[in-house]
Amino acid sequence: MPHKPAQSLLIRKLAARAAVAFSGKSGRPVNPRVQALATLPITPGEGTPRGENSMAVRKLAARTAVTASRKSGRPVDPQVQALAALPIRPEDQATRRGYSIAVRKAASRAAVTASKKTGRPVDPRTLGLAD
């Protein structure tokens, strides 16, 4: 599925953060470019021109951080934990269907990666979306 450059960068930043977090526990080295990408901040308007997806993206990033912290043992800020506990509602997502699917696919891939590490089962719909 084609992405706009900003959307691709956003998804790459989320994937880089998950990779760095999991590498801390597994001991596998991470490419320096991936580490650099993981340190870049996710800006509120990134991914969409008007920033309408910023809340969904922040919730998704918070969920990734909490999942990674469980495996690595690093503490997570209480605000991040609270944000991760909130459901992603339709009004949080972009109005354009293509981008919300891209965000859902990124979340599904992060969930599958986390389930391999934690051993928790993943919903079949999540597995299908992660392919």
Contact 56, 93 (CB under 8 A): yes
Please report the pLDDT score of residue 1 as a whole number.
Answer: 44
CA distance linking residue 36 with residue 98, whole number of Å: 28
Q: What is the pLDDT of residue 13?
A: 79
Q: How far apart are CA 68 and CA 39, in angstroms?
A: 15
Q: Is 106 exposed, middle or buried (0-12, 13-18, 19+ CB in 10 A)?
A: buried
Q: What is the block-wise mean pLDDT of the chain (131 residues), using blocks of 10 residues?
A: 54 78 76 84 59 64 78 76 76 53 71 76 72 66
Rounded to two decimals, what is the model's pTM? 0.39
Q: How far apart, in whole angstroms, are the C-alpha atoms of residue 57 and residue 17?
A: 13
Q: What pLDDT does residue 111 have?
A: 75
